Structure 1
């Protein structure tokens, strides 16, 4: 899982947990999540030191969490601060509010971005089990 971790980012721990949750899925659960979401998210997150890290959530083909740029191209790219992502993942901030206030920027299929909250919530619930 160290291949997912990036030092200096709170989001990194969230992606490690997400990766672990996806790793615990049966093939049927993974296929169901892919069927439900049908998209590739590329998340570009900037920390307090203005460094950027990129993670990809592939829920189009194989249901995987990867560090780095999306390949093939992402359906939606989300750009935000480390704090904003942490708050979104914890359910303390609403994605639409973050978008409308400029804390979250999206390129590509913006409607797909609305499914990210459900993916994060599912991973959070799976991690508690």
Structure 2
């Protein structure tokens, strides 16, 4: 599957699938050993729906999301196309580590991503400056 996602055909299939699922993101919680965990599939689907290709421009980058209480996901941007998949990318540009609730709050606009980074709720490794472009590439609805 990872090889398919790196092909033009795979990117088109994923883009079409994300476009078909254009419903608005609503917060869904799942029980996680007495706590709660944001619905990562819904969060990343919403992220794909919000992708602004014009803001991405000629950016070539992979954002790896290490979710402390969930599965890893990555967002790869190349030639104005965004591909999002569950799993770990072989060569991420930047890795962002956080709890699912933090990701949900940032994606909903409840928490500023930079503030979450400065307070230690988000940790970044790699090309940290790329992370500052996320708000323009995936604007809050």
Instruction: Give the alignment's TM-score, normalised by structure 1.
Output: 0.68
- Choose which of 47, 60, 66 in structure 2 pairs with 1:38: 60
Higher Cα Rg: structure 1 or 2? 2
Please name the residue that 1:63 is paired with. Answer: 82
Please name the residue that 1:110 is paired with. Answer: 128
Q: Give the number of equivalent residue pairs.
A: 106
Residues 66-125 of structure 1 show CA distances to partners (whole Å, capped at 9, x for unaligned) of 111113x0100000001110111011111111111110000000000111122331xx54
Please name the residue that 1:4 is paired with. Answer: none
Distance 1:34 1:119 in 2: 6
Distance 1:36 1:86 in 2: 27
Please name the residue that 1:79 is paired with. Answer: 97
Listed as ranges, the gaps of 5+ residues in structure 1 are: 2-6
Secondary structure of the equivalent of 1:70?
Answer: coil
Instruction: Give the alignment's TM-score, normalised by structure 2.
Output: 0.63
Any runs of at least 4 consecutive aligned residues in structure 1 with deviations exceeding 6 A, and if so which?
none
Let me know the Cα RMSD of the aligned residues: 2.5
Structure 2 counterparts to residues 45-56 of structure 1, below 5 A:
45-47=67-69, 52-56=70-74
| Equivalent residues of 1:45, 1:80 under 8 A apart | yes
RCO comparison, higher one (Cα < 8 Å, 6+):
1
